[in-house]
Amino acid sequence: MYYAYILLSWFLFGLIHSLTASLCMKQTMANKLGTFNRYYRLLYNGVAVATFVPVLWLHRTAPIDYVSSWRGSLWLGTLLAGVGLTIAVMALRGYDMAEFVGWPATAKTSDSQELRQSGLLQYVRHPLYTGIILYLLGLLITQPTWSYLILLLAASIYIRIGIHFEEQKLVASFGNAYKQYRQRVPMLIPRFSQP
């Protein structure tokens, strides 16, 4: 029954996060907020954090029920989680963090943006998500419980769905440049040989 609450929390988080990220909601809020619309991304991120806290709390307080008789590998899981965390931090360093969280004083207009393809973005299109998935996989290997398995699977599914909609926006913003980039650079797992 506890895992049903975890799944429900993921569903509610995903639903609210998807609705607030939709273009329809953004346009509706732009009309309602007027000049305060520049705070929408900040509000959006605040709602995302507030709705994700229950998900994390439920995972944190879940019973330690192992998926199998294997009890994991501390060194391998920690190594993988460390690699994932390093990739995620490196990916975040490629962003203007004030713009990323939605601080309106520094937000750039879409006209001034250009398609970035340097750093980790030359190897995968979504390095932050790659880092998050590796980190969560590391947690699962460290302690292979049902809670960590659900965390990895739910986050991976949500990330994949999010990528679909994020890339639609990127194609709308950057057109053929993004389509060519998408053909050349893999989504999450880097190629180790030339296509």
Whether residue 52 sits in one domain with residue 19: yes
Residue that is last in its domain, among 40, 62, 84: 62
Whether residue 70 sits in one domain with residue 40: no
The string of pLDDT tens digits covering residues 50-106 is: 999 999 999 999 999 999 999 999 999 999 999 999 999 999 988 878 877 878 655
Q: Structurally, how many domains does the chain consist of?
A: 2
The string of pLDDT tens digits covering residues 122-179 is: 999 999 999 999 999 999 999 999 999 999 999 999 999 989 988 988 998 899 999 9
Look at residues 150, 154, 140, 135 and name the one whose alpha carbon lies nearest to residue 70: 140
Whether residue 132 sits in one domain with residue 74: yes
Q: Tell me the mean pLDDT in the region 4-11.
A: 95
Q: At 114, which CATH number?
A: 1.20.120.1630
Residue that is last in its domain, among 20, 41, 62: 62
Whether residue 56 sits in one domain with residue 85: no
Residue that is last in its domain, among 9, 38, 62: 62
Whether residue 55 sits in one domain with residue 1: yes
Whether residue 126 sits in one domain with residue 42: no
The string of pLDDT tens digits covering residues 13-62 is: 999 988 888 878 888 888 888 877 788 888 888 999 999 999 999 999 99
Whether residue 129 sits in one domain with residue 54: no
**pLDDT at 108 (0 to 100):** 52
Whether residue 100 sits in one domain with residue 27: no
Whether residue 135 sits in one domain with residue 41: no
Whether residue 83 sits in one domain with residue 49: no
For the full predicted model, state whether its pTM sits above 0.85.
yes
Greater confidence (51 vs 109) lies with 51
**pLDDT at 110 (0 to 100):** 47
Task: Give the domain range for residue 47.
Answer: 1-62
Whether residue 78 sits in one domain with residue 48: no
